[in-house]
């Protein structure tokens, strides 16, 4: 089978049978197309150990992401693994539909370093909330992020007709999976106060404001905040709060998870609340609590 036909069928399989989002399908197309073009793959049989080995060398020698115009070292191993995972899944699909292919089990992922997890302590979060309180929308966004642990894309997708009479809501996360998240009384109050003063008719929960929003409304365009917009406003709030480290909506999500773990939540519950399909993803947060566990060990272990 020609590789172009096989690739198209695989992408359709991801979208229809596996229910992957269009963004995920686009990413897989990008990863696999790069491999196919580099290795000059024409047919399924062209994917072999040497083709994969040469591609791994190629990836490992690529420059890393650019910061202020300068590339930072070589491509991160975590990024390299995205390509390898895509190749493995492609091969598994081909085996599933009856083709004899190079075994995906022979493709080992690159070892990666433990991810650093930045989070806010109680004082830093309080300072950010104090700054955000000047703007009802920003205050509601900050409370919602910390109360629910939502991804920024999930926050931006919320509509204003959500039922705030309950302390929970259903969100659609990665892979179109539904999960329940919980809203604190403070978050509910902040959102209600924000909605009370809204004059627009946009269906989105969080929208743009200012002159730009007026122009968009006149053109009948959506006012819904984008993920990038929320990232910018969280960054600005952190700067105004005097926090020197980089703060993003994901930092607040990290803070949500570490706060739960430090207060005794079990990791399985945190996994469900974050919407992680694999508990290994959630386990990156456990090392943040190691210091606390060390203190417990010192206090209670081997006492006479």
Active site members: 151, 174, 250, 253, 276, 285
Please say whether the beta carbons of 243 and 128 come within 8 A: yes
Both tokens assigned to 45: 């049989």
User: Please, what sign has the CA dihedral across residues 104, 97, 21, 184?
Assistant: negative
Q: Residue 186: in which H helix or E strand, if any?
A: helix 185-196
Provide the 3-class DSSP secondary structure of residue 71: strand
Residue with tokens 């929320």: 230
Provide the 3-class DSSP secondary structure of residue 301: coil
Distance CA 44, CA 98 (A): 12
How big is the CA angle at 276 (ends 90 and 178), to the nearest 5 degrees?
95
How big is the CA angle at 169 (ends 23 and 231), to the nearest 5 degrees?
50
> Which DSSP letter does residue 66 get?
E
How big is the CA angle at 251 (ends 247 and 255), to the nearest 5 degrees?
130
Distance CA 65, CA 57 (A): 17
């Amino acid at each position: 089978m020609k590789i172009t036909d096989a690739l198209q069928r695989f992408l359709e399989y991801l979208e229809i049978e596996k229910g992957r989002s269009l963004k995920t399908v686009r990413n897989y197309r990008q990863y696999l197309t790069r491999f196919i073009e580099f290795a000059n793959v024409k047919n399924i049989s062209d994917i072999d150990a040497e083709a994969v080995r040469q591609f791994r060398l190629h990836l490992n020698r690529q420059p890393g992401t650019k910061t202020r115009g300068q590339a930072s070292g070589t491509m991160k191993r975590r990024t390299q693994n995205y390509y390898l995972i895509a190749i493995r899944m492609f091969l598994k699909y081909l085996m599933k539909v009856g083709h004899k292919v190079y075994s995906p089990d022979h493709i080992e992922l690159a070892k990666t370093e433990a991810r650093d997890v930045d989070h806010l302590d109680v004082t830093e979060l309080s300072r950010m909330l104090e700054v955000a309180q000047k703007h009802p929308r920003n205050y509601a966004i900050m409370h919602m992020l910390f109360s629910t642990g939502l991804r920024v894309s999930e926050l931006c997708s919320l509509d204003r007709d959500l039922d705030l009479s309950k302390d929970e809501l259903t969100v659609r996360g990665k892979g179109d999976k539904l999960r329940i998240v919980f809203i604190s009384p403070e978050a509910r109050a902040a959102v209600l106060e924000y909605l009370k003063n809204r004059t627009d008719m946009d269906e989105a929960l969080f929208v743009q404001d200012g002159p730009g929003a007026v122009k968009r409304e006149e053109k009948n365009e959506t006012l819904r905040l984008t993920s990038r917009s929320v990232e910018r406003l969280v960054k600005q709030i952190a700067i105004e709060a005097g926090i020197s480290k980089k703060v993003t909506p994901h930092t607040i999500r990290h803070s949500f998870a570490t706060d739960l773990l430090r207060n005794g939540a079990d990791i399985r519950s945190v996994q469900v609340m974050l919407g992680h399909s694999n508990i290994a993803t959630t386990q990156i947060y456990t090392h943040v609590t190691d210091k606390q566990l060390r203190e417990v060990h010192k206090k209670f272990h081997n006492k006479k």
